[in-house]
Protein backbone atom coordinates (compact mmCIF):
# COMPACT_ATOMS: atom_id res chain seq x y z
CA UNK A 1 0.00 0.00 0.00
CA UNK A 2 2.81 2.33 0.82
CA UNK A 3 4.48 1.92 -2.61
CA UNK A 4 1.29 2.96 -4.36
CA UNK A 5 1.37 6.39 -2.68
CA UNK A 6 5.09 7.08 -3.22
CA UNK A 7 5.01 7.30 -7.02
CA UNK A 8 2.12 9.83 -7.23
CA UNK A 9 3.71 11.87 -4.42
CA UNK A 10 7.03 12.02 -6.29
CA UNK A 11 5.24 12.90 -9.53
CA UNK A 12 3.29 15.66 -7.77
CA UNK A 13 6.49 17.03 -6.21
CA UNK A 14 8.23 17.09 -9.62
CA UNK A 15 5.28 18.86 -11.24
CA UNK A 16 5.13 21.44 -8.45
CA UNK A 17 8.89 22.07 -8.74
CA UNK A 18 8.66 22.54 -12.51
CA UNK A 19 5.69 24.89 -12.13
CA UNK A 20 7.62 27.02 -9.65
CA UNK A 21 10.49 27.47 -12.10
CA UNK A 22 8.42 29.09 -14.81
CA UNK A 23 8.68 32.86 -15.12
CA UNK A 24 6.90 35.44 -17.24
CA UNK A 25 8.24 38.82 -18.26
CA UNK A 26 6.37 41.58 -19.99
CA UNK A 27 8.16 44.63 -21.37
CA UNK A 28 6.32 47.64 -22.71
CA UNK A 29 8.05 49.52 -25.48
CA UNK A 30 6.83 53.08 -25.78
CA UNK A 31 7.35 54.99 -29.01
CA UNK A 32 10.37 57.28 -28.98
CA UNK A 33 9.85 60.82 -30.22
CA UNK A 34 12.84 62.24 -32.08
CA UNK A 35 12.89 66.02 -32.33
CA UNK A 36 15.26 67.99 -34.57
CA UNK A 37 18.19 69.70 -32.88
CA UNK A 38 19.16 73.20 -33.95
CA UNK A 39 22.74 74.23 -33.23
CA UNK A 40 24.10 77.72 -33.79
CA UNK A 41 27.86 78.14 -33.74
CA UNK A 42 29.45 81.57 -33.68
CA UNK A 43 32.45 81.30 -36.00
CA UNK A 44 33.14 85.04 -36.03
CA UNK A 45 35.28 84.74 -32.91
CA UNK A 46 37.48 82.15 -34.57
CA UNK A 47 37.80 84.27 -37.72
CA UNK A 48 38.70 87.36 -35.65
CA UNK A 49 41.41 85.45 -33.82
CA UNK A 50 42.78 84.03 -37.05
CA UNK A 51 42.88 87.50 -38.62
CA UNK A 52 44.57 88.94 -35.53
CA UNK A 53 47.25 86.25 -35.78
CA UNK A 54 47.65 86.78 -39.53
CA UNK A 55 47.99 90.56 -39.32
CA UNK A 56 49.93 90.69 -36.04
CA UNK A 57 53.22 91.37 -37.83
CA UNK A 58 51.65 94.42 -39.57
CA UNK A 59 50.27 95.69 -36.26
CA UNK A 60 53.67 95.30 -34.60
CA UNK A 61 55.39 97.20 -37.45
CA UNK A 62 53.14 100.21 -36.97
- Name the pTM for this structure: 0.31
9 occurs within a structural domain: no
* Number of structural domains the chain divides into: 1
Distance CA 10, CA 4 (A): 11
Per-residue pLDDT tens digits of the chain, which is 62 residues long = 566 777 778 888 887 777 766 677 788 888 989 899 988 876 666 777 777 777 777 767 66
The answer as to whether 54 is a domain residue is yes
CA distance 15 to 1: 23
Q: What angle do CA 21, 30, 35 make, to 5 degrees?
A: 150
3-state class (DSSP) for residue 37? coil
| pLDDT value for 36 | 93
Let me know if residue 60 belongs to a domain: yes
Tell me which residue range forms the domain holding 61.
38-62
| Percent share of the chain, pLDDT over 70 | 76
- Is 59 within the bounds of a domain? yes
Tell me the CA distances in angstroms from 28 to 7, 25, 31, one per residue in order: 43, 10, 10
55 falls within a domain = yes
- What φ, ψ does residue 58 adopt, rounded to 5°? -70, -40
Amino acid sequence: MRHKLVAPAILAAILMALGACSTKHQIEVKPVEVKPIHITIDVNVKVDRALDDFFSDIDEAQ
